[in-house]
């Protein structure tokens, strides 16, 4: 798991606009403005990062708070999405949270075959392995090759708990990603409402989705 170390530093806000921090994150304030000491200095808090942290941005005095929040949400949202994809790749998407239930259909000719149907015999495996959707060896494979990996119940129970914890972590990250995306969409909607164009609300805002508005089309000259 990647650790992020952040330190806070109070610096003078300059009129340099939004720009990404440098690669080594050593210079945060930009060029110093000389001969303006008599003006009231506006101060802001920015985050100093190391090489392993999420990219940050230097705020400008002309940018609204909503835009500043968006600029801080989107890098973290992308970073969280990458972590989710890596965790999904490690778990091979086996019974992942949010995935649809798998169905395996077997076709037979008569009602008698339906009643006498044996899934384990049809799949040529042991009854204990029928519920598996992965790593389901056949009886011939089990007779030909030795069992690899832990076999004692204590170790198997520990591995099952570790796997469950990984799936719980994946579910929490997916829920957090959805929540962050919903927040960013709501902020963007509030920014769009500042436009004086006539608008009609189509759908109310919910906890998981922003409100939907229909704007009147205006032809640009």
pLDDT in tens, 159-182: 888 888 988 999 999 988 888 888
Average pLDDT estimate for 102-120: 87
Say if residues 169 and 87 touch (Cβ distance below 8 Å).
yes
Compute the average pLDDT of residues 126-130: 86
Beta bridge partners of 49: 6
DSSP tally for the chain: helices H, then strands E? 5, 4
Closest by alpha carbon to 52, among 78, 23, 72, 26?
Answer: 23
Residue 33 to residues 13, 16, 39, Cα–Cα distance (Å): 10, 10, 11
pLDDT band at 3 (very low <50, low <70, confident <90, very high): very low
Contact 77, 174 (CB under 8 A): no
Cβ atoms within 10 A of the Cβ of 140, count? 10
CB 41 within 8 A of CB 10: no
Token pair for 180: 């962050």
To the nearest 10°, report the CA torsion of 13, 14, 17, 19: -70
- pLDDT mean over 74-102: 72
- What was the pLDDT predicted at 68? 62
pLDDT tops 60 at residue 190: yes
């Amino acid at each position: 798991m990647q650790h992020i170390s952040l330190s806070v530093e109070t610096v003078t806000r300059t009129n340099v606009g939004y720009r990404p921090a440098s690669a080594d994150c050593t210079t945060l304030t930009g060029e110093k403005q000389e001969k303006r000491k008599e003006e009231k200095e506006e101060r802001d808090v920015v985050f100093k990062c190391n090489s392993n942290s999420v990219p940050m941005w230097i705020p400008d005095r002309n940018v609204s708070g909503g835009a500043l929040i968006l600029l801080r949400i989107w890098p973290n949202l992308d970073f969280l999405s990458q972590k989710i994809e890596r965790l999904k790749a490690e778990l091979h998407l086996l019974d992942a949270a949010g995935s649809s239930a798998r169905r395996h259909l077997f076709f037979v000719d008569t009602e008698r075959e339906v009643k006498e149907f044996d899934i384990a015999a049809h799949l040529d495996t042991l009854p204990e392995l029928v519920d598996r959707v992965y790593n389901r060896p056949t009886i011939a494979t089990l007779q030909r090759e030795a069992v690899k990996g832990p076999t004692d119940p204590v170790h198997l129970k520990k591995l099952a708990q570790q796997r469950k914890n990984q799936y719980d972590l994946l579910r929490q990250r997916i829920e957090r990603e959805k929540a962050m995306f919903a927040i960013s969409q709501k902020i963007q909607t509030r920014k769009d409402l500042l436009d004086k164009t006539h608008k009609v609300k189509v759908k109310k805002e919910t906890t998981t989705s922003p409100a939907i508005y229909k704007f009147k089309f205006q032809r640009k000259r």
